[in-house]
Chains A and B, each alone.
Chain A
């Protein structure tokens, strides 16, 4: 038996592992989870988007400031009613497999995106908005099902990235990225890394770094240690608690720098509007009033975030900021509202949370105690949480689920921040309206805002939506969490996008490195 064990060990120890020359060292980027697929349209995960971004390109793209810039489309024009959009495709671009990325290929890629038979996980919004896609010479014509003010934002998202028809035909896209981006896919060693090399035939500026090696670890302290040892050149996310290790004057400051990006990752609490006493808007408002959001940001995020008091996040120009004192607890006002609702003695309610978010629930537990509100926390594994949070009203009533604590990020597109969470048609289990909020006015206003191309009237509608939601309080917004990431000193050109993905295609090493 000993010989058997020793044999196993020897076989593995002698297994060849790829060795890479030091002068051609790849940029190693560590994430908190592995990519889920290499198909950009079949996912909705920030980490996966980070990995895919160097491989693919979209018709339009956002720069570091969030401004829309040409991508694979050099120009675009809408029809008078803004229902038909014509994109001129950049000439001479080729996919990594050598196939031309012309209007025909772009048309096929977008048609695949909205094809219900293909059923891609990240395609639902495109299928709702786009009616058809056709080629017209060197242009691609996209016809919308209805006017959609944020349509151009949709074609900047990685889900709409143009994929090679050859890879689609071969059925390899889920395992092997094939786009037009500045990096070519080399390998995806399951459980280990994704390796990419510079695309020397790239139509734009060829990257300075020769290769990217994507790795991952779910353990925050391992990400921090990897940044210190140099096992990783870039880590994202870096837990706030480790940020102080790299503060000026600390020993690790000589190794790496922590960077901060304001993010659209909103943390919120969905309230079950069909469960007593949460069916009373006064009770729901009282719960929101009793929360000290500034303390949550200071205590749970070490200050790396911002209190959220309204439905839209700050990346939306129409978002209402927190008013004076709104981010502080207003216990007296909360008590008065509870008294008005006949709940002055308080009540018991339960919340379902995923494991990493339990500290938030514990803080709320303490903040609501002065009101006599007893919060019981049901900590759940991610899959179990999904089942609980998306349960229909009867099931939530049976299990007495009063609240669900969650977060998400949908920057720049107000419709994506509002429609899934607040419209009647998206009530769970059909969508993410987890508290079954039902308001025909809100449904109508969200539709109107989505279709309105006039900034002034749209602004008014979005303000009205936020005010109505403040009054009805179907959710309690808590805070937005900044994206923290660490970069080894001597590396520049790395930035994080508002939705939390990391952008490394423009990275370069200083000569001294």
Chain B
């Protein structure tokens, strides 16, 4: 616990370093937001005036200090595009990304863990081979392509599901399925590998010898010890949910943070890019801490480390 607290205490310092790195990296991106706003026909005088209005004519160091000063008060600046506070823009979008990502990971876990355990228990069977082939396909398919295919089949031809946008539960089905494919495949494979390893241990042989059914052996003994790496990976990915699923959100017209990030990069909306990136980094760091805490509950060795 004390180690977790020490790590948590270091977060502000890490965030400060990250903010400086992100600030420099974003401003090093080629492309001028003022030119992108004014369009190609605008003369340089207009560009210079716009740069002054947006505060981009200040030296980079001064801009960073100004950013830090405001950030310390919880103000991450205003969007260069429409003048909205960055925090408001992100907060409006965040629930959509968290909901979609959360549902996708829930699906991935609900299918992936039992699927992986089944494949390990029936190693070498047709079921195992079929599942492994399916995960290979699932991990290899481009999300963009699967999304368009799903839209064409289920929204355009069959009319079972809405095409895009956020709305009632039906709007979640296609994007969540598409987004869950890759983590689902990953979880199936990791769970299979973990359970397969554990099933070779002596204590499992003992459990079987005592007359426990294969299913009970797997659920009570093997899974508990095989899941640590799965939990680590899932927890780390949960941090990434904050920055949204760029491709899925864009194709499905989903109003999440991923799409916000794409639009902000396109128009070089520096404050919004900075806000989303920092929030995403914070999410990953917190997820890291969460993962450590959860693994410690599963693995006594991790607790004592």
Contacts and interface: CB of A to CB of B under 8 A. Distances in A.
Interface of A: 1-2, 5-6, 8-9, 11-13, 15, 17, 34, 36-38, 42-45, 116, 118-119, 121-125, 127-128, 171, 174-175, 189-192, 215-219, 221-222, 225-226, 228-229, 231, 381-384, 386-390, 406, 408, 410, 416, 420, 426, 429-432
Given A12-B102, A217-B251, A410-B41, 4 more contacts: A5-B106, A9-B106, A124-B42, A218-B250
B131 interface: no
A386 B32 contact: yes
Interface in B52-99: 52-53, 81-84, 89, 92-93, 95-96, 98-99
Interface string B100-113: 10110110010000
B218 interface: no
A12 B104 CA distance: 13
Given A13-B99, A217-B164, A218-B250, A124 B40 contact: no
A429 B44 contact: yes
B72 to A, nearest CB: 24
Given A44-B42, A229-B155, A386-B31, A8 B163 contact: no
Contacts of B49: 116, 119
A145 to B, nearest CB: 14
B148 interface: yes
A122 B38 contact: yes
Nearest to B90: A190
Contacts of B37: 36, 42-44, 121
Nearest to A173: B83
Contact of B260 (A38, A191, A386): A191
Interface string B149-186: 00110011001001111111100100000000000000
Interface residues of B, number: 71
A177 to B, nearest CB: 11
A5 B102 contact: yes
Main secondary structure of the interface of B (DSSP, over half): helix
Q: Among A17, A190, A382, A389, which residue has the most Cβ atoms of chain B within 10 A?
A: A190
Interface in B245-270: 250-251, 253, 255-256, 259-260, 263, 265-268
Given A12-B99, A216-B253, A408-B41, A17 B166 contact: yes
B98 to A, nearest CB: 5
B158 to A, nearest CB: 11
A14 to B, nearest CB: 10
Contacts of B268: 383
24 contacts: A11-B99, A34-B263, A37-B81, A37-B83, A44-B42, A121-B50, A122-B38, A127-B46, A128-B43, A175-B82, A190-B84, A192-B165, A215-B253, A222-B148, A225-B151, A229-B155, A231-B162, A387-B30, A389-B40, A408-B40, A420-B41, A420-B43, A431-B42, A431-B44
Interface in B194-251: 231, 234-235, 238, 250-251
Counting chain B CB atoms within 10 Å of each CB, the highest count among A43, A121, A221, A390 belongs to A121
Contacts of B9: none
Given A2-B106, A124-B45, A119 B52 contact: yes
A406 B168 CA distance: 41
Contacts of B100: 12
Contacts of A389: 40
Among A1, A171, A382, find the residue whose CB has the most chain B CB atoms closer than 10 A.
A1
B148 A124 contact: no
Contact of A225 (B35, B52, B163, B290): B163
Contacts of B53: 118-119
B155 A225 contact: yes
A121 to B, nearest CB: 4
Nearest to B99: A12
A6 B106 contact: yes
Nearest to B52: A119
A125 B45 CA distance: 11
A15 B95 contact: yes
A426 B42 CA distance: 9
Nearest to B102: A8
B257 to A, nearest CB: 9
B300 interface: no
Contacts of B251: 217, 219, 222
A36 B32 CA distance: 16
B50 to A, nearest CB: 5
Contacts of B168: 17
Given A124-B45, A175-B84, A386-B32, A9 B99 contact: yes
A121 B46 contact: yes
A1 B36 contact: no
Contacts of B89: 190
Nearest to A171: B83
B132 interface: no
Contact of B255 (A175, A191, A381, A388): A191
Contacts of B42: 44, 121, 124, 431
B46 A124 contact: yes
B22 interface: no
A167 B169 CA distance: 37
A17 B96 CA distance: 12
A25 B46 CA distance: 42
Contacts of B105: 5
B124 interface: no
Contact of A8 (B52, B99, B152, B263): B99
Contacts of B39: 44-45, 121-122, 408
B286 to A, nearest CB: 12
Nearest to B81: A36
B278 interface: no
A11 B40 contact: no
Nearest to B269: A36
A42 B39 CA distance: 11
Given A225-B152, A383-B36, A387-B31, A431 B43 contact: yes
B277 to A, nearest CB: 16
Contacts of B41: 44, 124-125, 408, 410, 416, 420, 431-432
B29 interface: yes
B139 interface: no
B131 to A, nearest CB: 22
Contacts of A190: 84, 89, 92-93, 255, 260
Given A225-B152, A231-B165, A383 B99 contact: no
B15 interface: no
Which of A44, A215, A389 has its CB near the most chain B CB atoms (within 10 A)?
A44
Given A174-B82, A219-B251, A11 B31 contact: no
B50 A226 contact: no
A226 B164 contact: yes
B121 interface: no
A192 B30 CA distance: 28
A34 B82 CA distance: 12
A334 B294 CA distance: 72
Contacts of B38: 44, 121-122, 124
A444 B39 CA distance: 25
Nearest to A18: B167
Contacts of B266: 382-383
Contacts of A13: 99, 103, 169, 172
Contacts of A216: 253
A38 B265 CA distance: 20
